[in-house]
Structure 1
Amino acid sequence: MGCPSRWEVTVNMAMYMRCLGRLRCGACGFRFRVFSDGKRCSTSKVVRKPEVLPESKRQGTCQRKTFVQEQADRLEQANNSILIKCPQKVNQHQLLKSLERHGNIAHYHFFEPFKTMLLLQFERRDGVLSVQQSCNMPRPGKRFLLPNRSRFLLMSKHNDEFPDKRSAENERPHNLLQMLKDHSNVDGQLEGLVQHMQLTEEDIRLRFLVCSLLQDLCTAILPSVQIQPFGSSVNLFGRVGCDLDMFLDLGNLNIERKRTRVQRDSSLEFQVKMFRCERVATQTILSVVGNLLQHISPSFDSIQKVLNARCPVLRFCHSPSNLNCDLTASNRIALCMSETLNAFAQVDARVRPLVFAIRCWARAQNLTSTVSGAWITNFSLTLLVLFFLQQCSPSVIPTISHLRKLADRIDHRVIDSVNCTIVSDLSKITPSNNKQSLEDLLHGFFDFYGSFPFQKKSINIRTGQVQRRSDDSPMEIINPFEENLNVSKNVNKRQLLHFVELSQNASLKLEKQHQLSSNQSWGLMTLLQHGPTQQARATDGAASIHPTPKVERFTDLFHSLWSTKQGNPEAKQQTGNSSPPESKQKGQSE
């Protein structure tokens, strides 16, 4: 039914203040105003009755977005967004009202790490440009300033300030272990774990905004370049506080140059700089971008150039959000791997809870580390979970080869002679007939790898089959796209044996949980108890990491990011001084 020209409703005044008196009709999207008495709201003109679509057409319009479409929408949101650093006490209502003069606000969110931060999205790009045109340059005093028109803005401290009411959801952090205890079964614990640790909507928006801000800077020297996130930020397995992996896509430059020669009838060409190979070009570009971040942009600091690694990387921190970032160049295979993991996460609802649980267990047992070394990575753990789910009878998820068979012609993708084709329309994938519970699958994972013949067999999620070893490393997990690469080549024999031993112990704990009394830890809680692994880790020549006594999730985004980074000062210092392992592969991300 259409919207009437007038409503008689009771409106919560706190909600009225947050929405600036303007709300949106859920039926047709038309904006209407709530009057200050909180009891009336009306539209400024008559609204047409929306067209009622048939059921068949309605279902067709609600199709799931593809990974590429989701990425494009997120990047568009980021391009229409700004980030504002405000004083600790700010009149949020007055600030939003002043910003609304520049354009309609589509989304906003306040964060509070140290000072209040506002992430705001306009409906159109014009709103961003209008805000930038209204901004002033700060007074340099005795110092000389470099003019910068970034979308990261500062609010002058001389504005009227008074304490603003805080949302109840940000008052206190939630303890994860207490949440696990409140559930009645293991399945509920695993599903609750995902809800507490997954990236929030605001976190995802912030990560894409950082990519957009970095792209604004890079396009000054490379006009056609694109900055895209990959890894945990987009594959649906990221947790609050994880690093932001990005790649600087130079492929569009080469494609545009080839099209220019074909489509334009001209004897003129641009004069460009030539390099003897792609690696040298990548190292040079990352070095130049690092200099821009260090000397021009005020938003990025702690710049580290790790250019001699197998995959050259630029490391830095986005200080307003406290996000640790890694930037590589032309790493499009990694984005394809992220799309594949994203597809597996959506194929079956049990995939994400199981991956989150295994990663959390590995971190509690010190199997993974923020320090480069012989530890197993989150990416390798994820592939282990996916391979196990392919081995179940019947299988929970399909193989990559099957996803490739379902792909349309438009999905065909070959990058650097590597076939990265998978189906983009996930509705083509037949749901699994496997009805096992999450508890059974968790127990089965530990049983499977507690007795897996790693010394003779390798793991390949592309075929979903166990196959003979092709190298002499203790553990072999074949890269799903580049089959000549082993993503677990860094894992040594000691760490592999430790993983097998801990898997066997976890299986025994789950078997005996029915014997525990009601006041004892059970289910996933028993797996998160820390084991005496620090001595073994220190023996390998790497510094030991002090385990965190509890796994916590903070509702406030910036509080979460800062707590994750500051909860272990020793580990943070070691991470900042370490280089990525030489064995890190282009398609690998955590």
Structure 2
Amino acid sequence: MAASRVHTRCLCCLQKLFPKPKLNPKLILNNFSSNFNLVKSRAVSSVLSKDGWGKGAKFEPFQVMVERRRSEASRSILFFLSERSCLENLIEYCNSHGKVQNCFEFYQNAYFAVVEFKKKESVKLIQERVYSSRGIGRFNDELIQNRLLKYNIKSSQASTIRPKNIVNKDFPNSQLIKTVCHGDSVSNQIEMLATEQALTDEGIRMRFLVCTLIEDACRKMFPECEVLPFGSSVNNFGKRNCDVDMFIDPKIGHGMIPVAQSAKKFKVEYDQSSADNERIATQNTLRTLSKYLEKCVPHCTNVLKILHATCPLVKFKHQALGLSCDLTANNRGAIDSSEMLYIFSKLDKRVQPLVFLIRHWCRYHGLTNKNPGQWITNYPLTLLVVVFLQTRRVPILPKLVDLINADLSFDDIDYSFPDLKGFPHQADDTSLADLLHEFFVFCTKFDFGNQGLSVRHGSVFHNDSRFPLFIENPLVYHLNCCKNVTKALVTKLRSSAAEALWVMDQPGFLDSTPWGIGMLFLTPRKLEKIQKEQNVAAFGKRVGRVLGLFPN
């Protein structure tokens, strides 16, 4: 496409250039697509079989899953749909450029659609047939394009009332309680809560898409860079409204950092202080990237750099996808942690729903908080559940040392997970309800002040530190994941667990309104009211038996 035509300010109609039957689409290209490199997979197995962990479950290795999702995202276009357009016409138009593999519509202050093509060439073909008008980012006077297009064609099929599919929305506690009360058992309720809270396929696709869009833009500065998601987006414990944690690997020489020459001009140059100190290199890289995202990359808003945190990061929001993002640099250790949790979640089908229930319970009772402070964060809380499942009388999860092909006596390890097929497994059919009860017993009786917890060895060890809660970092064994947690919060954890045990042991736990796990999320006043009603009912039955009105 000629440069003069790319820079035109008038919106050109594709129909005049490339007529399509029954269609007159108008597409606006807001910004570029680039090649992506697949992550090298370290996993071997694709299925867990025999009597191994996760018996009967299909197992997709972590790196294979990441490769597949990145491939899907790189073959996808994000379309903004005008009010007069419809998804059916968009799909018809896209199919005229190549086979559409997947498509879904969502609402984020406007209607959008994500269309995945079978071949990447189809994406490039559509991009070659559109023109830029406004909302364009620039890097050193070159256009920064991305795969966000506007589809603006009036359709007779367009409905005046369109359902709003809000993908990244978490359900309020009251709605969750109503939903789980339709379960047929407490274990079924726990599974239902996890289903209602877990990331959907659409939510995962959107998170990988935003990473590839940022990667496309950053490759103007770092041609070989990768932007990879980690944390909740990929570890199988992500909620529908979770942020997108991502890190950029610039793949440039040691000591090389990006530098801003002006508001929209950048270059990469050697910096001695960055060469001498990796943290300084990370801070300098993120400082420049924050300017780049804010000034040059379309749809990135609310950019905030936090460079003096333990792990420096840049926070921003992708306006079109409605996703809050945290960008870090040179943080491949986070991928190892994500893979570890992903595999734990796949080894037994009870792990994920149990973690979701306990996370929600902790959040409801003020033990976790999205803001930094004294609270337990989701990562160590998940590790707490993992250690509980490792150390019970019949372990449900293996020790990390038995799972990883690595010498864990060192910290700097390229963690490699083995072929998991046929991994030894002790049969255990304990229900989710009983596991939840066991967990509360564990939290009530465990001596957090004098004992620490190790996922690495699946064991308890003597805690001679000053920390009231010590959960060993599985990948850096001498670090405590809970060093911010206060003694008061640990006391609250124990008392909240004791209260939950009391609720689960009540006769009305299975026949109250709400019943089952719904009772774990009631206020003390409502619990007291239910208890009084149960006491009155029980007293009435006793009087009735005395008078001979009810059988014993």
Distance change (3 Å), C-alpha of 1:502 and 1:203: same
2:6 corresponding residue in structure 1: none
2:309 corresponding residue in structure 1: 309
How big is each residue's C-alpha offset from its partner over 1:279-311, in whole Å with a ceiling of 9 and x where there is no partner? 111111111211111011121100000011111
User: Secondary structure of the residue that 1:228 maps to in structure 2?
Assistant: strand
1:340 aligns with 2:340: yes
Distance change (3 Å), C-alpha of 1:194 and 1:154: same
Q: Which runs of 5+ in 1 are unaligned?
A: 1-56, 258-269, 533-590
1:523 corresponding residue in structure 2: 516
1:95 aligns with 2:90: yes
1:467 corresponding residue in structure 2: 461
Structure 2 residue identity aligned to 1:505: E
2:360 corresponding residue in structure 1: 360
2:196 corresponding residue in structure 1: 196
1:114 to 77, 84, 109: 109
Distance in 2 (CA, whole Å) between partners of 1:221 and 1:291 is 13
User: Secondary structure of the residue that 1:85 maps to in structure 2?
Assistant: strand
Distance change (3 Å), C-alpha of 1:517 and 1:476: closer
Q: What is the correspondence of 1:545-556 to structure 2 with a 5 Å cutoff? A: none
Q: How many residue pairs are counted as aligned between the two chains? A: 449
Asked if the contact 1:340/1:422 (under 8 Å) is kept, the reply is: no
Structure 2 residue identity aligned to 1:426: L
Structure 2 residue identity aligned to 1:218: C
Asked if the contact 1:88/1:114 (under 8 Å) is kept, the reply is: no
1:137 corresponding residue in structure 2: 132
User: Secondary structure of the residue that 1:280 maps to in structure 2?
Assistant: helix
1:441 corresponding residue in structure 2: 435
Q: What is the correspondence of 1:40-79 to structure 2 with a 5 Å cutoff? A: 64-79=59-74
> TM-score when scaled to structure 1?
0.71
Structure 2 residue identity aligned to 1:500: R
1:290 corresponding residue in structure 2: 290
Asked if the contact 1:146/1:296 (under 8 Å) is kept, the reply is: no
2:145 to 143, 149, 153: 149
Asked if the contact 2:90/2:151 (under 8 Å) is kept, the reply is: no
Distance in 2 (CA, whole Å) between partners of 1:95 and 1:462 is 50
How big is each residue's C-alpha offset from its partner over 1:541-589, in whole Å with a ceiling of 9 and x where there is no partner? xxxxxxxxxxxxxxxxxxxxxxxxxxxxxxxxxxxxxxxxxxxxxxxxx
Asked if the contact 1:365/1:530 (under 8 Å) is kept, the reply is: no
User: Secondary structure of the residue that 1:211 maps to in structure 2?
Assistant: helix
User: Secondary structure of the residue that 2:455 maps to in structure 1?
Assistant: coil
> TM-score when scaled to structure 2?
0.76
1:490 to 476, 484, 489: 484
Distance change (3 Å), C-alpha of 1:420 and 1:194: farther
Asked if the contact 2:509/2:516 (under 8 Å) is kept, the reply is: no
How big is each residue's C-alpha offset from its partner over 1:518-540, in whole Å with a ceiling of 9 and x where there is no partner? 343232111122469xxxxxxxx
Structure 2 residue identity aligned to 1:361: W
1:400 aligns with 2:400: yes
Q: State the Cα distance separating 1:139 from its structure 2 match.
A: 5.7
Distance in 1 (CA, whole Å) between partners of 2:407 and 2:293 is 33
Name the % identity.
Answer: 31
Structure 1 residue identity aligned to 2:112: M
Distance in 1 (CA, whole Å) between partners of 2:252 and 2:494 is 47
Distance in 1 (CA, whole Å) between partners of 2:179 and 2:491 is 32
Asked if the contact 1:365/1:531 (under 8 Å) is kept, the reply is: no
Distance change (3 Å), C-alpha of 1:530 and 1:420: farther
User: Secondary structure of the residue that 2:64 maps to in structure 1?
Assistant: helix
Q: What is the correspondence of 1:148-187 to structure 2 with a 5 Å cutoff? A: 148-156=144-152, 159-160=154-155, 163-164=158-159, 175-187=175-187
1:206 corresponding residue in structure 2: 206
Asked if the contact 1:232/1:238 (under 8 Å) is kept, the reply is: yes
Q: Which is further off, 81-90 or 213-222?
A: 81-90
Distance change (3 Å), C-alpha of 1:415 and 1:115: farther
2:541 corresponding residue in structure 1: none
1:31 corresponding residue in structure 2: none
Distance in 1 (CA, whole Å) between partners of 2:77 and 2:374 is 41
Q: State the Cα distance separating 1:164 from its structure 2 match.
A: 3.0
User: Secondary structure of the residue that 1:109 maps to in structure 2?
Assistant: strand
1:478 to 472, 480, 483: 472
1:325 aligns with 2:310: no
Asked if the contact 1:476/1:488 (under 8 Å) is kept, the reply is: yes
Structure 2 residue identity aligned to 1:152: L
Distance change (3 Å), C-alpha of 1:63 and 1:253: farther
Q: State the Cα distance separating 1:165 from its structure 2 match.
A: 7.9
Structure 2 residue identity aligned to 1:518: D
Q: State the Cα distance separating 1:364 from its structure 2 match.
A: 1.1
1:281 aligns with 2:276: no
Q: Which runs of 5+ in 2 are unaligned?
A: 1-46, 51-56, 257-267, 526-552
2:249 corresponding residue in structure 1: 249
User: Secondary structure of the residue that 1:459 maps to in structure 2?
Assistant: strand
How big is each residue's C-alpha offset from its partner over 1:124-177, in whole Å with a ceiling of 9 and x where there is no partner? 111111111112111689xxx984321122234x75576338788959989321
User: Secondary structure of the residue that 1:325 maps to in structure 2?
Assistant: strand
Q: State the Cα distance separating 1:320 from its structure 2 match.
A: 1.0
Asked if the contact 1:414/1:420 (under 8 Å) is kept, the reply is: no
Distance change (3 Å), C-alpha of 1:273 and 1:459: same
1:507 corresponding residue in structure 2: 501
Structure 2 residue identity aligned to 1:164: S
Q: State the Cα distance separating 1:428 from its structure 2 match.
A: 3.6
Asked if the contact 1:455/1:474 (under 8 Å) is kept, the reply is: yes
1:377 aligns with 2:371: no
Distance in 2 (CA, whole Å) between partners of 1:451 and 1:415 is 31
Q: State the Cα distance separating 1:425 from its structure 2 match.
A: 2.5
Distance in 1 (CA, whole Å) between partners of 2:430 and 2:88 is 50
Q: State the Cα distance separating 1:488 from its structure 2 match.
A: 0.4
User: Secondary structure of the residue that 2:468 maps to in structure 1?
Assistant: coil
Q: State the Cα distance separating 1:272 from its structure 2 match.
A: 4.5
Q: State the Cα distance separating 1:459 from its structure 2 match.
A: 0.7
Q: Which is further off, 383-392 or 85-94?
A: 85-94
Distance in 1 (CA, whole Å) between partners of 2:135 and 2:486 is 54
Asked if the contact 1:81/1:119 (under 8 Å) is kept, the reply is: yes
Distance change (3 Å), C-alpha of 1:240 and 1:139: closer
Q: State the Cα distance separating 1:91 from its structure 2 match.
A: 2.4
